[in-house]
Amino acid sequence: MTGSRWSAGAAPGRRRGPELERAILDAALEQLSTVGWNALTMEGVAAGARTGKAALYRRWPSKADLVAEVLRAGLPPLGEVPDQGAVRDDLFRLCVRMRDVMHSQAGEALRAVLHECDHAHADRFRAVIWNGVHEPAHHLIRALLRRGIERGDVRPDAVDPLVVDVIPAMLMYRSKVCGSEWKDQEIGDMIDRVMVPMVRADAA
């Protein structure tokens, strides 16, 4: 399997603890990526992980619990953004990283799950996006804007909740509603035409 965040080299046999959990999470992510939310079964995941259903139910009482854990654990972390010397380049690097996270195997599975699942589960899986992508992105955007204020290329009052919302909101809206793949050129245009004019020091 490719694209998984977990190691996939566990040998079959009597696996326990973290090794068995990795095998189960790998198998569940593979199932999500191939058959989707509706067709995923605990039996299928157990077969893919070469274990029994009891091993799954001891850890996750339901399919929804398992899938939420798979998505939480599988999303790559945003990490830090090294200082690029200008707020434009800092924000560009962050946007590229956000796009790559949502295009990872877990990110693609998460978006597919949100399209398939019912309303009872949708809020739970949206929370995975919020906690795994948007909340860390908000934190990083505030940090990058503060870095820019210290450098002098960002206006002092730019660290505003509405300003911080712009990048995550645009990325999600254009991806979900318009089907945008957010190529580097599109990200650059958004940064140059929206974010930089909004936060640059001479815009105050």
In a domain, 11, yes or no: no
Tell me the CATH number at 59.
Answer: 1.10.10.60
Tell me, yes or no, whether 56 and 88 share the same domain.
Answer: no
Provide the pLDDT for residue 14.
64
Q: Are residues 131 and 59 in the same domain?
A: no
**What is the rounded end-to-end Cα distance, in angstroms, of the chain?**
51
Asked if pLDDT for residue 197 goes beyond 60, the answer is yes
What is residue 154's three-state secondary structure?
A: strand
Q: Are 83 and 69 part of one and the same domain?
A: no
User: Comparing C-alpha atoms, which of 69, 80, 70 is closest to residue 140?
Assistant: 80
Q: Which two tokens stand for residue 22?
A: 């990795």
pLDDT digits (tens, 9 = 90+) for 1-55: 344 444 444 444 566 788 999 999 999 999 999 999 999 999 999 999 999 999 9
Q: Do 65 and 84 share a domain, yes or no?
A: no
**Residue written as token pair 């990110």:** 107
- Boundary of a domain, candidates 41, 73, 105: 73
- Which range of residues forms the domain containing residue 55? 17-73
99 or 2: which leads in pLDDT: 99
Q: Residue 60 falls within a domain, yes or no?
A: yes
Q: Tell me, what CATH number does 123's domain have? A: 1.10.357.10
pLDDT digits (tens, 9 = 90+) for 120-162: 888 888 888 889 989 999 999 999 999 999 999 999 999 999 9
The count of domains in the chain is 2
What confidence score (pLDDT) does residue 170 get? 92
Q: Give, for 149, the enclosing helix (H) or strand (E).
A: helix 135-151
Are residues 63 and 138 located together in one domain of the fold? no
